[in-house]
Structure 1
Amino acid sequence: MGCKDKFTHILDSKSKYRLNVPYSAPKKINWWFAPFFVAIWIVLYCTVVLNLSILLPTPLTLKDEPNAPDRFIGERAYSILEGLVSLGPRIVGSEANEVQTVEYLLNEIEKVREQANTEYFDIESEVQTVSGSYMHWTMVNMYQGVQNVVVKLSAKSSNSSSYLLINSHFDSVPGSTGGGDDGSMVAVMLEIMRVIANSSGPLEHPIVFLFNGAEENPLQASHGFITQHKWAKNCKALINLDACGNGGKEVLFQSGPKHPWLMRYYRENAVHPYASTMAEEIFQAKLIPSDTDFRIFREFGGVPGLDFAYTYNGYVYHTEHDRADIVPMGSLQNTGDNILAVAKAIANAPEMYNTKEYEDGHVVFYDFFGWFIIFYTQTVSTIINLVVSFAALVAIGTSIFFMIVRSGLGVNDILKRFALVIGLQVVALLLGTALSLLVALFMDAINHSLTWFSQMWLLIGLYFCPMFFGMGIVPAIYCQYKKRDQLSLGFRIQMFMHAHCVLLVILTLAITCCGYRSGFMPMLAVLFDVVALIVNLITKWHRRAYIFALTVIICQILPFIYFTNISYSFFYTMVPMMGRNGSGINPDLMMAALAVFMSMLFAGFLIPLILFFRKTRILVSGFLVVTLVFIIISLTPAGFPYQEKTAVQRFNLIHARRVLHDFDSSVRIGDSGIYVWPQDRRTSTVNDLVPVMTKGQKVIDFCKTEMFCGVPAYNHRWNKDRDHSFWIDFSEPNIPSVPELELLSKEVSPFSARFVFKFSGPDHMTIFVGTKSDAQIKSWSFNDTAIRENWEQPYFIYFSYGKDSTPLEFFIDIEKTSGNFSEPNIEIGIGAHWVHKNAQNTKEFEEFLDSFPVWAYVNNWVASYESWVF
């Protein structure tokens, strides 16, 4: 007799295990109580979650300093920020960045030195000017004469050769004063330096404060420091401070890698912890259109560390609206309290003497409401996920056993019903997901994506409610169909909860098996459900439907707060990013997918409780009605995505001149126009107000015949979006000077030739190189990675300089099997960009810019593109 037959035989032969109770329909709760049930969770979200999300400490003022000499003073940091931002946009190569900001920082450092405890500390400072290159994504990133302001703070008694590196950047993007990105973090670093220098220690290991002057270019100055500075090899741990928003709490979104001891010091010392492994994996999956110096220190210096960033109010990121006056002083205090404590702890850590000894796998980390940090290694995470999943399956199996015992139904009947319920729960989740994605596709198809961009509450109706409807309507129809079932309503509802738990277990195991650490999210949802189930089984409350439900409700309060808090944080981070994520991706699909995932976590065990109310199908259908209402609202002016200053639509416009030469130096193409790179999906929104925008030709149309489409792409991202960029014929711009490319020499041997060039122009340029006929590039004076690894041509070189404007000389070695160098061999294109407004716009171009609505942010400059064939 098989195990299954034995189990059935035992239940059939032992009547004491069976309670053949005739069916009695439980009395359902009147339907009008359902809105109160929903209101409980809404009130919980509004009163607890929202307050937890925006809570910041009270900033300390200068008046508090006498009573708190070892504390971070938010008011002083804010004053430093105001002074820095008053210098205006700080763009590499501009006087504001290369002269005024450097002087400002040196003056602030001197103030720290004057107040420092010089009996205990030594303070060394210098300005590093550095040149170099490396591969950044798909382009050679080359820099010349960019600057770093570097300070080393060390105890006189210390003989440690291991340094803690703290980094932020003082440059900004064109058009922005960089209040949040990254002036706020520069101010935080200066105040932290002052507090430590004014103390009496202890400081076992020196701290290097790196104020780097070329992060936005991108990441050039940090590369120059970590590859060339005399202190770089001694830097054994890193704290990187950046921003993709303006204010809020700084989130720890990257750690290590493989150095869990750093997380231990963060957990033990951070005053206001805020961290997420899921944010790290989203960032490293390149779903966020940003990068930080953290990657440079990790890849080129092997320095493990902690990467922090502001993410709140990303609407103003990289715009003229990123000002100092909208940075909350409480944000500076929050960051200062955290980083000061963590920096002092790491700078006194014994692990710093030999950090490699403590390398031990990736880390799973997440905060709990900002109260404390939970972290453990990925190996431990796998064990936890497996144990919780196994416990869940055992608890569910036990619950099913008691259903068999008490229902009067056979083993096969119950198991078949449970299998059916699992299938129905899959259908429910698929239905909710399909409806959410369908709404996203519909909104995009009618050119109404991003309606939630400035009104995030619209996301609730558009993408959460369809998921709620799908998760509720399928169980409701099943329970109505099984209205006269011998299995009680309470047990049927429990089955749907168990089915959802089984699916979350499968999701947890799948994420874990794929090597992702974000499996802790569904694991936590499973854990809290298992706790409720075990309590109900031990107390035998599982037999009493409404007491079982009350236990579930109580046990779901904490995970509801936690997951909706996470959801709030992610949406307030991701939504503004959709305004600069390019026009090639439907942002509504991303929002719908995130809503689906979060709904499964915080609502999966709550939606089945609606089945206890009468008129269940009508109640659940209310979610679909809400969705329809929200779609209608989205189509009205209330759903217009943009607002002046606070939630703008972004455009990058280059007023450019193009001159393309043939092999005989004759001009093949000579024209002028506006190169338009829209940064979001709703490009056509401005067409009625700016009719010129309708006259553009897609840049992709030029790509078949011209190298890099024959336009002055500013960096590789612009080229990547060539399908969605366009060119508008326009009058000629005012070009301050003509960039020069001079062929200095051409040395020919039987099958090879060396071309030597001299190149001069503004401080931001791009060089495009492609071969002709059977020519191949054997070597050149740029970074040789693309040549050595045989990357696809043409090649993209980004070149910028800070203080050193010396013309660039470079060579290119060509090989040809034909040996014929009297025909076209290589084509070189030069894009020259005057990004810090030292070029006067023409009257026609100014009128064009003025025609844009107030809710549009137009970043613009003058450029030229010229190509030659040699």
Structure 2
Amino acid sequence: MSSVRKRQTKLPTPLENSDEFKQFEETSKSGLVNNSAANELQWGHWKIIIGIFTLLLFGSLYLHKCLPTPKEPNEDYNSFSEIRAQKILYELSNYGPKPAGSVACEQLTRNRIYEELKLIKSSASAFVNFDIDTQFASGCFHIPKFDVDGFTICYRNVSNVMVRIGQVEQSKNERKIAVLLNCHYDSWPTSSAGSDDLISCALMLEIARLLSKAPQKLHHDVILLFNGAEESSLQAAHGFITTHPWRHDVRAFINLEASGSGGRELLFQAGNFWRYYFKKSSILSGPANQWLLNAYLEAAVHPHCSVIGQEVFQSGVYPGDTDYRVFRDYGKIPGLDLAFVQNGYWWHTEFDEAVRITNGSLQRAGENVYSVLTHLLASPYLERPAEYGDKRSVFFDFLGLFVVVYDVKISHMINIVAIFIGFLVTMARFFQDRNLYIRAFVEYFAVLISMVAVTYGMTKMVAFLYGTLQWYTHHWIAAIIYGIPIVWTGYATQTFFTSKLASYQILKFSDCLESIHLAFIAAILMIFTYYDVAKTQKLLIFPLWLILPGAAMLVYTSEMLISIFIPIMGRTSSNPEPIVASFIALPTVLIMLSLLPFFAKTKTNREPNECGPKDFVYSIFGIFFVMFLIVSVLSAASPSPFRYKYEYPTAKRTQFFHVNRLMHNRDGSIIANDSRLYAISHDYRGAEDIPFVKSDPEWQEIEPIYTHSHFKDIPYYFPTRARIDNRHIRYRVSEEQIKFSKPTKITLNSKKQTSKSEIEYDLSVSGFGQMSVYMVADPQWIITEFTALPVETYKVAPIEKDTSLFLFLTCSSPENHCTWNFKIVMSLLPSQTPDQEKPLLIGASSHYIYGPEMQSKSLQQIESVIRDNRLHSNQWTITPSSWNADLVYRYF
């Protein structure tokens, strides 16, 4: 007889018999907890939350744009006065564009600064030495790949004006150490340079005036460098820091720059941040002294600084560079880099005029720099810098009110402790209610993934419906097209999940979400402390109070980044939508995640049977459909993202070249001898966004003659080939042939086969004062050596061994025409056999960025049409930089 044992299956405890339910029921009957009050947030609660975050938003906007009132000059000369400094600023700006080598730069601007310094010296205190000097520097150096390709720079006779201010020396043999302040008075070829960088020069002149009356503040010397060639690739600063006798006395520097126009200046470089990570890099070997940052943090009247700005700039994402690089890399000097970063629409355009600089900008920057400088002069930092260490710090200002700074080691310790505590608390709660916690964990990240996915989808939708840059003029559009769907998705997804819960589970589920969020922030964003949420009826005040400081910093930092980077997107060739969407998404997603416990407690009308996968898909689809309508309406209302208002233009950046081309084959025969017009768009919308290019089929894509050259026969001014692809450039043949007074020439002086695998060239290139030279070796060869002759003048500039070389040549001379001599060495790659007698292709383009031959009639006509039409049409809101160029290519 066999017996069969039946398996006994343990049925789940009925919901009404569970311990949790009984406890909830007893508590409810006792009156300690009311279901609707304890487990649900009402509309009144959300009014408070929305009101607080609205106050945060508008408060941060106000603080971000808050500037001091300009001060009147006083007779005691004991405080910085914007009104006194403005006079020469307006005068210098009114000289118009002033590129290095031009009359406006080398005579008008330079001489005016020199005369102002002489005037200050004439009224200086008898106890102050006020030594004025000038310099005309020549040299060569190499800049590694950063936001442009690596290239070699040579310059001749670029100008500097300097003044050294100090106490009357007791001993003539005593050599005093000094702090260097730097600005540049040259400009982009088509800009008046009101903010970049004449505002800084006016600031330094005012500081010179104040110091000339204050010998008691001059515990050490101050050197003010007004350099005349920064826009031409940092040349004048290099000339000073490598050849001028005063360079040996400099212990620290403050570089004053601009990538915008006015507003609050930002400290965005202090020491070499990336050296912390790349200690063995010879390129990144500059100093990173904490003491200099301390001086700023201790003394700045209106501090505005962020390690985020330093990270972004030095990573190469930011398209630009400053003299900071030269002082750091070639002078091995620690320094601060301060820049005006607001209103970046006008940087390097016709709109960068002194009249557009916001009142109070110069006052704010002047008070900061003067206070930091005098504090530094009186501190022990300069005499004993080694005692104050060489370390990296995390620093930021809180809403512009005060500065937070701490050592990176402390930051690591805080992060480790926070992550450890977060992990322990998370695990403790996990074992209290494993099933509910797993559910909360899955749903938390489901909400996060949903918000990220919707953001990504919105970038694609916007690019499809509008192109890009819809938010370029009005930043609030970015908040609408990216912020609204994130908020909507986060709320809808979380309430969708919560609707499936029994009412007695909501409070504990909310606590689980809170715990997961804190652990997530600890691990990813490295919070400083871990906070808990009391299980009481105080559902709103305590957790919201803990959220607010972080939320305030998120909103403030996001506003700073958006105001800086949205104008920069107008000169970025890659798709800007993911970047701007990230700036909106990061604070919004983090704030939404912190509010998930509140969403879980919010009463909804959704029934549990309305929470299936199909309902979720419909919900997300509905979000996209509504956003599709919103984006479509915005697109129809404003087809172009650009606006022309004289007070605040936000124009499309373009370049137009009129180029004479003379192209040779290997046998010396001429392939092309023609004249072309080039149209270049600097934003992702491309050249087809230029109205007359889009409507005229004669504007064509580039078809290079020399297919092995990555320069594509384009007369590049800077080595920006990575920024200019086929979508950004068009050309058409021009009937107007330019007749240059002195055409560009390339001459072979000698060619020696020094060995079977090496060729040495002696070459000459002659042309206008500003030239770009492109050298391309056949694939079997690499260029291993470049020397500008005579070597005793230009020294040897190390280059990166490659198949190509870009030279940027600036020559300041009365006749605006120069000849350069070079020695080039090429080496055969291993296991390669040369197949051509002339393996080196050289192109040279003279860029007529100033003078009577700057613009042809064709370019003048293009600019005239643009300026007439942009008054009436947003599509024509374009700011052109245009000049003639003479391009020659030959094989050797």
Change (3 A) 1:787 1:52: closer
Instruction: Give the match's secondary structure for 2:539.
Output: helix
**Which residue in 1 is equivalent to 2:725?**
722
> In the alignment, what sits opposite 1:209?
224
How far, CA to CA, are the matches of 1:788 and 1:254 in structure 2?
Answer: 26
- The CA distance in 2 between the partners of 1:43 and 1:816, in whole Å, is 66
| Counterpart for residue 527 of structure 2 | 523
Cα offset, 1:22, TM superposition: 3.1
Cα distance in 2 between the residues matched to 1:367 and 1:56: 15
- Does residue 795 of structure 1 match 2:802? no
Look up the match of 2:6. Answer: none
Q: Deviations over 1:346-387 (max 9, x none)?
A: 122212124344333211110112222111221121112223
Q: Aligned-pair distance for 1:588?
A: 0.7
Residue 671, structure 1, aligned to residue 674, structure 2: yes
Out of 631-640 and 146-155, give the one that drifted further: 631-640
Give the corresponding residue for 1:761: 767
**1:45 counterpart residue number:** 56
Cα offset, 1:712, TM superposition: 1.0
Q: Select which of 556, 563, 569 maps to 1:565.
A: 556
CA distance in 2, matches of 1:58, 1:778: 57
Which among 846, 860, 878 is matched to residue 832 of structure 1? Answer: 846
Spell out the pairing of 1:572-591 with structure 2 (5 A cutoff): 572-582=563-573, 585-591=574-580
1:506 to 523, 527, 535: 523
CA distance in 2, matches of 1:765, 1:320: 23
| 2:658–2:856 contact (8 Å) kept in structure 1 | no
Secondary structure class of the residue paired with 1:231: helix
* AA of the residue aligned to 1:859: S
3-state secondary structure, aligned to 1:140: strand
Inter-partner Cα distance in structure 1 for 2:458 and 2:515:
29
- Given the superposition, is the C-alpha separation of residues 490 and 628 from structure 1 closer, same or farther in structure 2, using an over 3 Å criterion? farther
* Counterpart in the other structure of 1:637: 637
Q: Distance in 2 between matches of 1:326 and 1:807?
A: 40
Alpha-carbon offset, residue 419 of structure 1: 2.8
Residue 656 of structure 1 aligns with which residue?
Answer: 659
Whether 1:597 and 2:586 are equivalent positions in the alignment is: yes
1:142 maps to 2:154: yes
In the alignment, is the contact (CA less than 8 A) between 2:263 and 2:358 conserved in 1?
A: yes
Structure 1 residue corresponding to 2:711, chosen from 708, 711, 717: 708
Give the match for residue 856 of structure 1: 878
**1:845 to 1:326, Cα distance in 2 relative to 1, 3 A:** closer
Q: Kindly indicate whether the alpha-carbon contact (under 8 Å) linking 2:120 and 2:212 is maintained by their aligned counterparts in 1.
A: yes
8 Å contact from structure 1 (residues 152, 208) kept in 2: yes
Cα distance between partner residues in 2 of 1:703 and 1:419: 62
Are 1:247 and 1:311, in contact at CA under 8 Å, matched by a contact in 2? yes
1:462-473 → structure 2 map (5 Å cutoff): 462-473=481-492
Aligned residues of 2:88 and 2:202 also touching (Cα < 8 A): yes
Q: Is 2:738 the counterpart of 1:734?
A: yes
Indicate the residue corresponding to 1:266 in structure 2: 296
> Is it true that 1:698 corresponds to 2:701 in the alignment?
yes
Distance 1:689 1:39, change over 3 A: farther
d(CA) in 2 for partners of 1:616 and 1:578? 43
Instruction: Establish whether residue 869 from structure 1 lines up as the match of residue 874 from structure 2.
Output: no
Letter in 2 for 1:57: P
Q: 2:535 pairs with 543, 546, 549, which one?
A: 543
2: CA distance, partners of 1:236 / 1:787: 26
Provide the C-alpha distance between the structure 2 equivalents of 1:610 and 1:18, rounded to a whole number of angstroms: 22
Unpaired runs of 5+ in structure 2? 1-17, 29-34, 273-287, 608-615, 789-793, 871-876
The C-alpha deviation readout for 1:100-139, integer Å capped at 9, x for no partner, is 11101111111221222132x1111211111111122311
Pairing 1:162-173 to 2, within 5 Å after superposition: 162-173=177-188
**Which residue is equivalent to 2:245?**
230
Shift of 1:76: 1.2
What do residues 625-647 of structure 1 show as CA deviations (whole Å, max 9, x unaligned)?
87445423332234631011511
Shift of 1:242: 0.4
The answer on 1:123 being equivalent to 2:114 is no
- Measured at CA, do residues 238 and 683 of structure 1 come closer, stay the same or move farther in structure 2, by a change above 3 Å? same
Structure 1 residue 201: deviation in Å? 1.8
What is the aligned-residue RMSD (CA, Å)? 3.1
CA distance in 2, matches of 1:16, 1:196: 79
Alpha-carbon offset, residue 756 of structure 1? 2.4
**Which of 591, 612, 615 pairs up with 2:604?**
615
Tell me the CA shift for residue 704 of structure 1. Answer: 2.2
Deviation at 1:656, TM superposition (A): 0.6
1:47-87 CA-to-partner distances (Å, cap 9, x unmatched) read 4222111111111013xx13x63100110111121011111
Q: Distance in 1 between matches of 2:224 and 2:748?
A: 43
SS across alignment from 2:823: strand
Alignment partner, residue 47 of structure 2: 36
1:134/1:142 contact within 8 Å kept: yes
Code of the aligned partner of 2:730: F
Q: Report the number of matched residues.
A: 810
Change beyond 3 A, Cα 1:660–1:861: same
Is the Cα–Cα contact under 8 Å of residues 34 and 613 in structure 1 kept in the other structure? no
Give yes or no for contact 2:780–2:834 (8 Å, CA) kept in 1: no
Give SS of 2:475's match: coil
CA contact (8 A) 1:219 1:296 kept: yes
Q: What is the aligned counterpart of 1:321 among 351, 372, 383?
A: 351
Look up the match of 1:408: none
Aligned to 2:837: 823
For 1:105-504, list aligned pairs within 5 A: 105-119=113-127, 121-136=128-143, 137=145, 138-157=150-169, 159=174, 161-257=176-272, 258-393=288-423, 400=429, 411=431, 414-484=433-503, 486-487=504-505, 489-504=506-521
Check 1:628–1:663 CA distance in 2 against 1; reply closer, same or farther (3 A cut). closer
The C-alpha deviation readout for 1:289-328, integer Å capped at 9, x for no partner, is 1111111111111111111111111111110001100112
Letter in 2 for 1:563: L
Matches of 2:774 and 2:165 in 1, distance apart? 43
CA distance change for structure 1 residues 694 and 291 in 2, over 3 Å: closer, same or farther? farther
367-376 or 832-841: which moved more?
Answer: 832-841
Counterpart AA for 1:507: I
How far apart are 1:470 and its partner, in Å? 3.3
Deviates more, 1:431-440 or 1:350-359: 350-359
1:807 match: 819
Q: Give the aligned residue type for 1:758.
A: S
The code of the aligned residue for 2:557 comes to: I
> How far apart, CA to CA, are the structure 1 residues paired with 2:558 and 2:103?
43
Q: Report the alpha carbon displacement of residue 243 of structure 1 after superposing the two structures with TM.
A: 0.6
Q: Which residue of 2 aligns with 1:98?
A: 106
Superposed displacement of residue 223, structure 1? 1.4
**What SS is found at the alignment partner of 1:595?**
helix
Alpha-carbon distance, 1:342 to partner: 0.2
Paired AA for residue 656 in structure 1: V
Give the percent of matched residue pairs that are identical in Structure 1 and Structure 2: 25
Instruction: Name the SS of the counterpart of 1:716 in structure 2.
Output: coil
Quick one: which amino acid aligns to residue 483 of structure 2?
Answer: F
Letter in 2 for 1:198: K
Task: Assess, with a 3 A threshold, how the Cα gap between structure 1 residues 788 and 636 changes in structure 2: closer, same or farther.
Answer: closer
Q: Distance in 2 between matches of 1:372 and 1:20?
A: 49
Q: Helix, strand or coil: the match of 2:478?
A: helix
Partner of 1:512: none
Contact 2:167 2:215 in 1 (8 A): no
Q: State the one-letter code of the partner of 1:543.
A: K
> Is the Cα contact below 8 Å between 2:786 and 2:825 reproduced in 1?
yes
Structure 1 contact 660–868 (Cα < 8 Å) conserved: yes
Deviation at 1:700, TM superposition (A): 6.7
